[in-house]
Amino acid sequence: MIERENRTIVHLDLDTFFVSVERLINSKLIGKPVIIGDTSDRGVVAACSYESRAFGVHSAMPMYLAKRLCSQAVFIRGDMDLYSKYSRLVTEIIADKAPVFEKASIDEHYLDITGMDKFFGSLKLFFKIISIYA
């Protein structure tokens, strides 16, 4: 017999993570269109800010097209070591708060908060956890 139970899983996806890290180390980027990725014409957009998305730029877009759509953007090659470092910091915070979690990618985590609702209420716990992102 397979026992099934309802589980409560929270999916946390950091919003424009690479851009947020760049803005942490350079506050002048806040409010500006930022496009991150291999800036050669053969490159693709790895991440972009909402300000650049307003011009039609999106992730995985060819860089030459992003340059054409939003030439005024700040173009950054990106630093995966730096993003990985900040990703680990986020994971540490989550590990400290959630008993069962899985890191799905550099900016995504799944948290199993099943049973914790008995103590806190799942929704309340969820908001407590996401407050670390604010």
Catalytically annotated residues: 108
19 or 69: whose CB is closer to Mg ion?
19
Select from 9-17, 45-53, 55-63, 87-95 the region that touches Mg ion (CB under 5 A).
9-17
Residue 55 and residue 33 in contact, taking contact as beta carbons nearer than 8 Å? yes
Residues 25-54 that bind Mg ion (CB under 5 A): none
Structure tokens at 33: 């269109």
d(CA 54, CA 60): 16
Closest separation between CB of residue 47 and Mg ion, Å?
8
# binding residues, Mg ion (CB under 5 A): 3
Residue of 76, 68, 71 whose CA lies nearest to 47: 76
Q: Is 22 in the site for Mg ion (CB under 5 A)?
A: no
Closest separation between CB of residue 56 and Mg ion, Å?
19
**Which three-class secondary structure state does DSSP give residue 14?**
coil
Residues 73-132 that bind Mg ion (CB under 5 A): 107
Distances (CA, A) of 83 to 23, 63, 106, 125: 12, 20, 8, 27
In the complex, the residues that contact Mg ion under the rule CB under 5 A are 13-14, 107
